[in-house]
Amino acid sequence: MTWLRSIVTRISALFRKRRLDANLDDELRFHLEMEEQDNVRSGMSAKEARRQALLRLDGLEQVKEEYRDRRGIPFIDSLLQDLRFAFRSFRRDPGFTATVLVTLTLGIGVGTAIFAVVNAILLQPPTYKDPEKLVFLGRINDKKGVRTEKISCGDCYDWRDNSGLFDSLSCFYHDSYRFENEIYWGEQVDEAFCSTIGVHPFLGRCFHSDDFRAKATHDGPEVVILQHSFWKSLFGADPGVVGRTYDLAGSGRPTTIVGVMPPGFGFDYRIEKYFRPLFSIHRAPHVVGSHGAIARLKAGLTLEQAQARADVFSQRMAEAHPDTHTDWRYVLNPVSEKATAGVRDPLRLLLAASGLVLVIVCLNIAGLVLVRSQKRTSELAIRSAIGAARSRLIRQLITENVLLSFAGALLGLVVAGLLTSYLRSWVPESVASYVLGADHIGVDPWVITFAIGVALVNGILVGLLPAFRGTSFRLATWIREGSTSSIGSRMERRAQHYLSAAQVSMAVVLAIGSCLTVRSLLKLHEQGAGFQPSGLITVSINALGLSRPGWALEPEERRRYFQQIYGAFWQSLRAEMQSIPSIEGFTFGSSAPMAPVDRIRTAM
Amino acid sequence: MGEAKTDILQGTLDLLVLKTLDSMGSMHGWAIAKRIEQVSASVLAVNQGTLYPALLRLQQKGWIAAKWGTSDNNRRAKFYSLTKKGQKRLAVEERNWEQMVALVARFLQPVS
């Protein structure tokens, strides 16, 4: 327990330093006076009495020092002393300080901003449980050169039940729904959805089998699970809406909100706003490639093993359904790769570039510090002469540098904050919806840790060289020859040369790299879209409402009904369009050129 | 060897200070130094400089307590006194000392 008390007194001593020092001075002064008086009483002269008293109290300053050492925490004491000294010396040298601060701010600001982007997009895992085990099912037709993630519903269940590769598989279907006169995109999902991805609504519940049965028979209200951001914008994040029924679609069919997904959750990285139970009518086997599937690999199965087995299974499917499945082979796309596929390489490049920038900043500052340390040789020599240990001097120099680096990092974080908020607002919605995390780019704890880490490394490394060089003089030589020994300055000049050379070479690399990148971008832009975009209008049409009466029919009849209904609709539309004189021509298809794939039903 | 010597000296000084405070009651630093000198008949010329760090150490260990007061000649001085813990410690130290003295004496006695 005594060590605890001793630690407490030592820490409190840090704060009451001045008072305690005054007390000690008083006590020692009292002691001296008493001793003096005693000496006078035994017959010494006043002067002799004083001298003898001082002699008895053998080394007053050292006594005080030993007392202080015992009283406080010497390491922190000296650290605080170093910091105060550093402040003063920086204030005296504003040119140096300002230059270093500006360099650090820019370098750390840019580097941290890039890191924030990389952090938000590449390093934060998607919000699923064990995302490394999750894959999206896709297929490739090598003959036609087509690659898609749309498979048929029958495929879904084939893979789930017969392939033996997955612990669970969930089938889904992109669809749209009307909420309050606006049409939103969302997903229809099956019962296994929540359990496969391992994410459950944070309010309410996931779908269970009753919901699906009710859907098939159109009994009761529709059920829906909302995405967090959608819930915020529609209902202002009111938790009371869960469980309530609304007539949202305006179709007279009430909708019950059964759950809300947790914030930050994104599925398939689209801008889906809600989840609904999968329509049973869509379970038409092996026909149209309209569904998607996400599956969790069996434990112990690596991606390569699974893909190999999947290839075998693809063969079997092709043999079993020759008219629909020949030339198609199925692939397993890991969830995490899909999220970042397009941006991964550019981001890595950016990260490398910003790393180079940071290194240049480091070298630059090292050069400045080296020059400054030359000016301080005399000061360091004197301190060394009084008895400062070399390690103490080095510690002081490094502390100075770290202090400066921290100040620069702080300012750099401010710059990074500005940059990231600008980046966040600048990323277009279509890109943000594909790249999960793009809306989370910002200064979060990881980013701050990064900035502090960079500052620390910078401070220590940058301080190391000048510290060692600056304290390795021979005292006698210095005193004899004056403040600068010629050998020392030659070595310093050589160090400066190396530093400059390294900086210039890296800067050249960066400059060339960015020029090439810009040129590629320009070339891409020149290439154009392959069509004339001026005067072209794209319209997206959702004609789902037409199909409603057809739900009640049997599958075969239903298909014929849809063909008939939709066919009639497009014909009439075409006729109307042709009659408008200002339209030169039109066409329709399931997606517009250069649009995010499969979002737009029709383009004209 | 040097380390052990300081330990013994430290320990001895502690014992002397504690005993002094025990017999004389509350005293200030200078008085303690003078008293030790007196009792040892100036054989032990305590380096007065080591006294104050030692007093601080004893305070930190909780064996003595300090209080500011006024001396005989109306000066402000810091007075030290023995705490209960210190009294207990003193008893332990005295016992240890006597044991050690007896042990060494046994060794130094001519073999009988």
DSSP-assigned states of every residue in A300-312: T--HHHHHHHHHH
A488 band by pLDDT with thresholds 50, 70 and 90: low
* pLDDT average, residue stretch A558-562: 73
A184 and A298: one domain?
yes
B76-82, strands of its sheet edge to edge? B27-28, B76-82, B64-70
CA separation, residue A224 to residues A251, A277, B108 (Å):
15, 7, 98
A352 and A488: one domain?
yes
Residue of A nearest to B63 (CA): A2
pLDDT, residue A192, reads 83
pLDDT 10s digits, A383-427 = 777 777 777 888 888 888 888 889 988 998 889 888 888 887 777
B-interface mutation test, from A24, A29, A30, A33, most B Cβ less than 10 A away: A30
A9 and A158: one domain?
no
pLDDT, residue A324, reads 74
Tally of domains within chain A:
4
Identify the residue with better confidence: A599 or A225. Answer: A225
**B52/A67 Cβ within 8 A:** yes
pLDDT at B50 over 70: yes
- The two three-digit tokens of residue A413, written as one number: 């974080």
pLDDT 10s digits, A249-281 = 555 567 788 888 877 677 765 567 788 887 755
Those residues with Cβ within 8 angstroms of residue A40's Cβ, 6 or more apart along the chain or in another chain: A46, A49
Is-contact A330 A310, C-beta < 8 A?
A: yes
Identify the residue with better confidence: A283 or A26. Answer: A26
Helix (H) or strand (E) holding A187: strand A182-189
pLDDT at A592 over 50: no
Count of A-B CB contacts under 8 Å? 59
**B49/A59 Cβ within 8 A:** yes
Whether the CB of B97 is below 8 Å from some CB of chain A: the reply is: no
pLDDT 10s digits, A165-203 = 888 888 888 777 777 666 777 888 888 888 888 888 888
Those residues with Cβ within 8 angstroms of residue A391's Cβ, 6 or more apart along the chain or in another chain: none
Percent of chain A with pLDDT over 70: 75
- Alpha-carbon Rg for chain A, nearest whole angstrom, is 37
| CA atoms of A525 and A520, how far apart (whole Å) | 9
Closest partner residue to B56 (CB to CB) among A33, A34, A71 is A71
| CA atoms of A111 and A356, how far apart (whole Å) | 9
Distance from CA of A39 to the nearest CA of B (A): 12
A160 assigned to some structural domain = yes
Interface of A with B (CB under 8 A): 2, 5-6, 9, 23-24, 26-28, 30-31, 33-35, 38, 56-60, 62-63, 66-67, 70-71
Is-contact B34 B18, C-beta < 8 A?
A: no
Closest partner residue to B53 (CB to CB) among A30, A58, A66 is A66
Q: Is A187 exposed, middle or buried (0-12, 13-18, 19+ CB in 10 A)?
A: buried
pLDDT, residue A548, reads 62
pLDDT at A57 over 80: no
| CA atoms of A378 and A90, how far apart (whole Å) | 17
pLDDT at A356 over 70: yes
A265 and A375: one domain?
no
* pLDDT average, residue stretch A374-381: 75
| CA atoms of A182 and A171, how far apart (whole Å) | 26
A509 assigned to some structural domain = yes
Distance from CA of B100 to the nearest CA of A (A): 26
Distance from CA of B112 to the nearest CA of A (A): 46
Report yes or no for ipTM above 0.90. Answer: no
DSSP state of B74: S
Whether the CB of B65 is below 8 Å from some CB of chain A: the reply is: no
**B53/A30 Cβ within 8 A:** no
Whether the CB of B106 is below 8 Å from some CB of chain A: the reply is: no
**A58/B49 Cβ within 8 A:** yes
| CA atoms of B101 and A306, how far apart (whole Å) | 83
Closest partner residue to B62 (CB to CB) among A5, A30, A62 is A5
Range from A23-27, A82-86, A203-207, A524-528 carrying the lowest mean pLDDT: A524-528
pLDDT 10s digits, A115-138 = 888 887 776 655 677 777 888 888
A382 and A513: one domain?
yes
| CA atoms of A153 and A72, how far apart (whole Å) | 75
pLDDT at A485 over 70: no
A390 and A523: one domain?
yes
* pLDDT average, residue stretch B40-65: 77
| CA atoms of A131 and A303, how far apart (whole Å) | 12
A34 assigned to some structural domain = yes
Range from A394-398, A486-490, A517-521 carrying the lowest mean pLDDT: A486-490
pLDDT at B93 over 50: yes
pLDDT, residue A522, reads 85
Distance from CA of B104 to the nearest CA of A (A): 32
* pLDDT average, residue stretch A348-360: 86
Those residues with Cβ within 8 angstroms of residue A364's Cβ, 6 or more apart along the chain or in another chain: A103, A499, A503
A338 assigned to some structural domain = no
A85 assigned to some structural domain = no
Is-contact A270 A174, C-beta < 8 A?
A: yes
Distance from CA of A61 to the nearest CA of B (A): 10
- Total residues belonging to chain A: 604
Distance, C-alpha A536 to centroid of its chain: 38
pLDDT 10s digits, A464-484 = 877 776 666 666 565 565 555
Sign for the CA dihedral angle at A311, A312, A313, A317 comes to positive
pLDDT at B112 over 60: no
A334 assigned to some structural domain = no
| CA atoms of A10 and A2, how far apart (whole Å) | 12
pLDDT at A551 over 70: no
- The beta strands (E) that lie in A88-144 are given as 134-141
pLDDT 10s digits, A226-239 = 887 778 777 877 88
A285 and A349: one domain?
no
Distance from CA of A22 to the nearest CA of B (A): 12
A86 assigned to some structural domain = no
In chain B, what residues touch A31 (CB-CB under 8 Å)?
29-30, 33, 48
Distance, C-alpha A433 to centroid of its chain: 16
CA separation, residue B7 to residues A95, B11, B13, B60 (Å):
53, 6, 10, 17
| CA atoms of A563 and A551, how far apart (whole Å) | 13
| CA atoms of A531 and A554, how far apart (whole Å) | 43
pLDDT at A160 over 70: yes
Strands A134-141 and A146-148: antiparallel
- The two three-digit tokens of residue A129, written as one number: 């449980």
Closest partner residue to A35 (CB to CB) among B30, B52, B60 is B30
Largest CA distance in chain B: 61
Tally of domains within chain B:
1
pLDDT, residue B80, reads 92
pLDDT, residue A375, reads 75
B75 band by pLDDT with thresholds 50, 70 and 90: confident
pLDDT at A591 over 60: no
Those residues with Cβ within 8 angstroms of residue A324's Cβ, 6 or more apart along the chain or in another chain: A152, A286, A287
| CA atoms of A222 and A203, how far apart (whole Å) | 18
Last residue of a domain, which of A527, A556, A580? Answer: A527
Domain of A355 in residue numbering reads as 94-124+343-527
B-interface mutation test, from A24, A56, A64, most B Cβ less than 10 A away: A56
A110 and A64: one domain?
no
Distance, C-alpha B31 to centroid of its chain: 13
Those residues with Cβ within 8 angstroms of residue A237's Cβ, 6 or more apart along the chain or in another chain: A231
pLDDT, residue A319, reads 84
| CA atoms of A52 and A227, how far apart (whole Å) | 87
pLDDT, residue A212, reads 76
Distance from CA of A6 to the nearest CA of B (A): 5
Percent of chain A with pLDDT over 90: 1
| CA atoms of B66 and A9, how far apart (whole Å) | 14
CA separation, residue A331 to residues A30, A137, A505 (Å):
90, 6, 45
Domain of B65 in residue numbering reads as 2-108
Identify the residue with better confidence: A230 or B24. Answer: B24
Residue of A nearest to B61 (CA): A2
Task: State the pTM of this model.
Answer: 0.60
pLDDT, residue A457, reads 86
Helix axes B48-61, B29-39, angle to 10 degrees: 110
B-interface mutation test, from A24, A27, A41, most B Cβ less than 10 A away: A27
Token pair 């202002």 is at which residue?
A236
A60 band by pLDDT with thresholds 50, 70 and 90: low
**3-class DSSP state for residue A246?**
strand
Closest partner residue to B60 (CB to CB) among A6, A26, A30 is A6
* pLDDT average, residue stretch A368-374: 80
Is-contact A184 A234, C-beta < 8 A?
A: no
In chain A, what residues touch B61 (CB-CB under 8 Å)?
2, 6
Amino acid identity at B51: L
CA separation, residue A511 to residues A309, A344, A356, A507 (Å):
48, 22, 11, 6
In chain A, what residues touch B49 (CB-CB under 8 Å)?
57-60, 62-63, 66
**3-class DSSP state for residue A42?**
coil
DSSP state of A552: G
Closest partner residue to A70 (CB to CB) among B31, B47, B53 is B53
Any idea what the CATH number is for the domain that residue B21 is in?
Answer: 1.10.10.10
In chain B, what residues touch A35 (CB-CB under 8 Å)?
30, 48
**3-class DSSP state for residue A376?**
coil
| CA atoms of B50 and A63, how far apart (whole Å) | 7
pLDDT, residue A269, reads 54
Distance from CA of A392 to the nearest CA of B (A): 24
Closest partner residue to A34 (CB to CB) among B30, B61, B78 is B30
Residue of B nearest to A65 (CA): B53
B91 band by pLDDT with thresholds 50, 70 and 90: very high
In chain A, what residues touch B52 (CB-CB under 8 Å)?
24, 27-28, 63, 67
Distance from CA of A440 to the nearest CA of B (A): 53
Amino acid identity at A471: T
A536 band by pLDDT with thresholds 50, 70 and 90: low
